[in-house]
Every structure is written in C-alpha cells, then in structure tokens.
Amino acid sequence: MWIAAGGGLLAGILLTLFLPRMLPLSLEAGVAGVVMADSSWNAGITMMQQANPARWDELAAAAKLGLANRAEAAACREAAARAKKDQRCTITVAAPAQ
C-alpha cells in the first residue's frame, strides 16, 4: 500500500511539473497563476524577477520611461506614419532620485 501511495505521489508531482508544458500557452500561464495562488500577470512578474533580477530591473525601468513619455511617443508614431519614414523624437528622462 505504501508503494502505491508513493507511486501516486510521484506521478502527481511529475504531472504537475510537466503537464502544463503540453497545454496551449494561454492555459500554461493560467496554471502558473493557480500554482502560485496569484493572477497569471503577477505570477509572470514573480517568475521574471526570480529568474533574472537585473533584467527585470531593466524591463521595469524601460516600462516606466515609456509610460512617462507616452504622449511624445504617440505623437512621434503618428508623424512616422504620416511621413512614411523613421522619425527622431525627443523624450524626457527623469533624474535619478537622490
């Protein structure tokens, strides 16, 4: 009986680890959220932070820069679309907090 219980436990662990990889991408992200008891979005953030903290900091800084210059970027995209060529644009970069 102990062997059957151990085998069942091992099978359950292996299925939990490998079965999500066989699911379509949208379901795989949902499984990550369920396993981490959070939304898929927050589970993804947590996994990225833990996998590569330095790269996560770069990504977060880039997102912050993009949000701070949203209007300028939109105007520049419109100008590029009208001109049908690349455009040089000016953005504002905040000074680091001291």
pLDDT (0 to 100) of residue 44? 84
Tokens (6 digits) for 3:
């062997």
**What is the radius of gyration, based on Cα positions, of the chain?**
22
pLDDT (0 to 100) of residue 21? 67
The larger pLDDT score, comparing residue 52 to residue 38, is at 52
CB atoms within 10 A of CB 43: 19
> What's at 13, amino acid-wise?
I
pLDDT (0 to 100) of residue 28? 65
Tokens 């997102």 belong to 63
Highest mean pLDDT among 8-12, 29-33, 83-87: 83-87
Specify the DSSP element, H or E, that contains 88: none
Tens digit of each residue's pLDDT (9 = 90 or more) over 18-32: 776 676 666 666 667
pLDDT (0 to 100) of residue 29? 67
Tens digit of each residue's pLDDT (9 = 90 or more) over 42-80: 888 888 898 999 999 999 999 999 999 999 999 999 999
> What's at 83, amino acid-wise?
A
Measured CA distances, 87 to 22, 31, 32, 63, 90 (Å)? 43, 42, 40, 21, 10
